[in-house]
């Protein structure tokens, strides 16, 4: 199986290193700048539990250098997706699939949802350009449950978690997902083949859409946010709003916020991905994580005052610090 990873950062680097070390796929990567140089010099590198997993890497700067792939795994941040979607055409043949390993609400999320009339989300795909470049029938959705970061370009630090959920964007189970699930399982991941990946995506979002932006705003780790009773109540109120949206979309949440907080508390003093981005001066993934939920509430006619407050505060923080440039 020919697999190309577009975006060899923390998540892409973890997936790439394990796939390369397993040796079952013909693996390549698209990278630029310091990450491109590091992969060419050192190969794939993943450090976990005090040991370094290493494998040779074949990397290119432009998709046209690699040709058609069976799977294109996209692991970039949300703000980078639109140009990436336009650039990967040389990698896509008639039967190629696209596997986004990204946070938040994806561009194809509204497909098939009657309450939304299938119309795309302007917050994540203004003008529908991503959907035009990557039609939903190509998409295998995913949810990654892992805590990873990069300590240097091309060097991934794995803290915990190897969970990976895969599923057809349009629901149901398929042979192509089953084949990918087996490949990732043999590479050391704890893989589930979901018949409703949209619901799995919404559940992860439900936990991330509050702690991520609040951590970026405050500079606090997850444990400190959860220890503050006012912030805990604020996040819980926003989560109840998001749960109401999910219930209307066929993505019900079967936990209450306190049950989810108990799961997050087990991670201890963790630094969310958005906090890491803010500290590094990288663009914030606000649209896919919060802006899309705000938009969904508007389209469904549901009041979301707490989600709106999180989005407004984080958006202004991002604009003030040059980390968010999207329009209204």
CB 15 within 8 A of CB 74: no
Residue 322: the pLDDT is 96
**Domain stop point among 195, 214, 236:** 195
Q: What is the 3-state secondary structure of 131-187? A: HHHCCHHHEEEEEEEEEEEEEECCEEEEEEEEEEEEEECCCCCCHHHHHHHHHHHHC
Residue 117: the pLDDT is 86
Provide the percentage of residues in the chain whose pLDDT is more than 70.
99
Residue 189: the pLDDT is 98
Q: Are residues 156 and 204 in the same domain?
A: no
According to DSSP, residue 283 is labeled P
Q: Are residues 40 and 177 in the same domain?
A: yes
pLDDT-based confidence at residue 326 (cuts at 50, 70, 90):
low
- 57-71 pLDDT per residue, tens: 999 999 999 999 999
In a domain, 325, yes or no: no
Residue 29: the pLDDT is 98
Q: Are residues 48 and 150 in the same domain?
A: yes
Q: Are residues 171 and 229 in the same domain?
A: no
pTM exceeds 0.75 for this model: yes
pLDDT higher than 90, residue 118: no
68-72, 118-122, 193-197, 303-307: segment of lowest average pLDDT: 118-122
Q: Are residues 203 and 144 in the same domain?
A: no
* Mean pLDDT, range 117-139, rounded to an integer: 93
Provide the percentage of residues in the chain whose pLDDT is more than 90.
94
* Mean pLDDT, range 91-114, rounded to an integer: 96
At what angle are helices 229-248 and 257-265 packed, to 10 degrees?
Answer: 120
- 253-294 pLDDT per residue, tens: 999 999 999 999 988 898 999 999 999 999 999 999 999 999
Domain at 11, CATH number: 3.40.50.720
- 153-210 pLDDT per residue, tens: 999 999 999 999 999 999 999 999 999 999 999 999 999 999 999 999 999 999 999 9
Residue 139: the pLDDT is 98
Split into its structural domains, the chain has a count of 2
Residue 305: the pLDDT is 98
pLDDT higher than 50, residue 328: no
Q: Tokens standing for 190?
A: 């704890």
pLDDT-based confidence at residue 325 (cuts at 50, 70, 90):
confident
Q: Are residues 176 and 57 in the same domain?
A: yes
Q: Are residues 236 and 151 in the same domain?
A: no
* Mean pLDDT, range 236-247, rounded to an integer: 98
Residue 114 sits in which domain range?
Answer: 2-195
pLDDT-based confidence at residue 148 (cuts at 50, 70, 90):
very high
d(CA 107, CA 98): 13
* Mean pLDDT, rounded, of the chain: 96
3-class SS at 43? coil
Residue 161: the pLDDT is 92
Active-site residue set: 204
Q: Are residues 252 and 316 in the same domain?
A: yes
Residue appearing with tokens 């629901």: 171
Q: Are residues 284 and 249 in the same domain?
A: yes
- 1-34 pLDDT per residue, tens: 999 999 999 999 999 999 999 999 999 999 999 9
């Amino acid at each position: 199986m020919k697999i190309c990873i577009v975006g060899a950062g923390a998540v892409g680097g973890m997936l790439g290193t394990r796939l390369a070390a397993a040796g079952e796929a013909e693996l390549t990567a698209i990278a630029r700048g310091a990450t491109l140089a590091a992969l060419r010099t050192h190969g794939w590198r993943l450090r976990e539990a005090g040991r370094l997993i290493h494998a040779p890497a074949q990397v290119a700067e432009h998709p046209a250098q690699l040709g058609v792939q069976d799977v294109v795994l996209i692991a970039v941040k949300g703000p980078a997706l639109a140009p990436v979607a336009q650039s990967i055409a040389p990698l896509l043949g008639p039967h190629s699939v696209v596997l986004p390993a990204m946070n938040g609400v994806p561009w194809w999320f509204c497909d098939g949802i009657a309450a939304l009339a299938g119309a795309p989300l302007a917050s994540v795909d203004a003008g529908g350009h991503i959907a035009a470049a990557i039609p939903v029938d190509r998409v295998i959705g995913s949810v990654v449950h892992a805590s990873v970061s990069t300590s240097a370009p091309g060097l991934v630090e794995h803290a915990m978690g190897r969970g990976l959920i895969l599923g057809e964007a349009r629901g149901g189970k398929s042979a192509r997902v089953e084949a990918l699930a087996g490949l990732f399982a043999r590479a050391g991941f704890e893989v589930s083949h979901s018949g409703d990946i949209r619901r799995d995506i919404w559940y992860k979002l439900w936990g991330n859409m509050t702690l991520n932006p609040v951590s970026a705003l405050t500079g606090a780790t997850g444990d400190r946010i959860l220890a503050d009773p006012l912030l805990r109540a604020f996040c819980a109120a926003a989560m109840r709003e998001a749960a109401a949206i999910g219930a209307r979309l066929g993505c019900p949440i079967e936990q209450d916020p306190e049950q989810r907080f108990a799961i997050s508390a087990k991670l201890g003093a963790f630094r969310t991905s958005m906090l890491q981005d803010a500290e590094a001066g990288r663009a914030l993934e606000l649209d896919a994580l919060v802006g899309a939920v705000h938009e969904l509430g508007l389209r469904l006619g549901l009041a979301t005052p707490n989600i709106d407050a999180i989005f407004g505060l984080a958006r202004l923080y991002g604009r003030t610090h040059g980390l968010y440039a999207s329009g209204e």
